[in-house]
Amino acid sequence: MPEKRLLNKQIVKALECSGNLMILCDAHPSRDVDYYCTQEKEFICNKCALIKHSAHMESLKEVAREEVDNHCEKLLTYLELMRNRITQAHEKV
C-alpha cells in the first residue's frame, strides 16, 4: 500500500527531526533540506533543486528554520498519537 509507505517515511523523518530538528533530503540523506517544492510537495536539498527541480525553480520556496520546526512539530504530534494508539492496542491484548 503506497499510502502506508508514505506514512513510514514521514515517521522516519519525524524521528530524524526529534534527534536534530532538521529534515533530510530523500535523495541525499546526508544533506539538510534547503527548499520546499510546492509543485511536488516535498522538501529538497540544494543539489536536488539544481538537478531535479531546475525546470520549475519558481515553485521552490526557501525553507525557513521555523517552517522546518513547525513541520517537525506536526509530525511529532502525529507520531505521539500513533504511539498512544499502539499502546492502547497492546493494553487490550
Contact positions vs Zn ion (CB under 5 A): 25, 27-28, 37, 39-40, 45, 47-48, 53
Rounded CA-CA distance 16/27 in Å is: 15
Nearer CB in complex with Zn ion: 56/85 = 56
Strand 42-44, strand 60-62: pairing = unpaired
Pick 14 or 25: Cβ nearer Zn ion: 25
Work out how close the CB of 16 gets to Zn ion at its nearest, in angstroms, rounded to a whole number. 14
Write down the least CB distance from residue 73 to Zn ion, Å: 23
